[in-house]
Amino acid sequence: MADAPGTVLLIHGLARTARSLGPMGLALRAAGYRVEPLAYPSTKAPAEALVAQVAQAIAAGATRRPAGPLHAVTHSMGALILRDWLARSAPDNFGRAVLLGPPNHGSELVDRLGGDPRLGPAFRLLNGPAGLDLGTGPGSWPNRLPPPAHPMGVIAGTGSVSPWFSALLPGPDDGKVTVASTRMEGMADHLVLPVSHTWMMMDPRVIRQVLAFLREGRFQRG
């Protein structure tokens, strides 16, 4: 894998755009990877439709993709889209993935705010149908996904810049997702850094760890 760095799919999170992973893409290109940023209308459709749109974009890019492994770096809800897509139609050449702040078991914010009679309408307006799919219930989208069949490293944050949101979350969190929710059965490695959910994908410490995992299959310690 070291001889052929390959291609990295970049999948942004809820209410963000492909530009949010711009610095990550620059670092990956500098390291020799080919980068494919995937844009999708995260607040305009339910989860099922978003996964289908991203799957279609990945398939459309296959004809232009050079030989070599296919990796991925995701932020927030982008992790669930990747996991859902891989569970349905993983390509033979898929390699490794790094998930940044993934709500692998949902977010209590969705439970608390999405169902609130006063705040619910605003929450739904800002986050769309897919945002409501991110609850922590046993039947929620995150909790229906199977464990990954590919090496995945997870980076969680504890540097919240949203004290009001953090007050609604149990335990250490990044302002949107708890550290506990980022963990999942079958992950290859897990790392906690003092970064926020909103900005973690631009943090140099996170970018260095992403490069390490894609290269070695584990994060750097010490």
Q: Are 124 and 132 in contact (CB under 8 A)?
A: yes
Residue 112's pLDDT is: 83
Angle (nearest 5°) at CA 179 between 174 and 182: 105
Could you tell me the pLDDT band of residue 222, with boundaries at 50, 70 and 90?
Answer: confident
Give the residue numbers spanning the domain of 76. 7-216
Tens digit of each residue's pLDDT (9 = 90 or more) over 96-154: 999 999 999 999 999 888 776 676 677 777 888 888 899 999 999 999 999 999 999 99
Residue 35's SS3 state is: strand
The CATH code of the domain that includes 57 is: 3.40.50.1820
The verdict on residue 93 lying in a domain is yes
The verdict on residue 43 lying in a domain is yes
Q: Is the pLDDT of residue 27 over 70?
A: yes
The verdict on residue 221 lying in a domain is no
The verdict on residue 150 lying in a domain is yes
The verdict on residue 175 lying in a domain is yes
The verdict on residue 84 lying in a domain is yes
The verdict on residue 222 lying in a domain is no
Residue 2's pLDDT is: 46
Q: Is the pLDDT of residue 18 over 60?
A: yes
Mean pLDDT of 189-202: 97
Residue 121's pLDDT is: 76
The verdict on residue 124 lying in a domain is yes
Integer CA distances (angstroms), 195 to 50, 96, 157, 175, 201, in order: 27, 22, 5, 10, 9
Into how many domains does the chain fold? 1
Mean pLDDT of 82-106: 97
Residue 10's SS3 state is: strand
Could you tell me the pLDDT band of residue 1, with boundaries at 50, 70 and 90?
Answer: very low
Residue 123's pLDDT is: 74
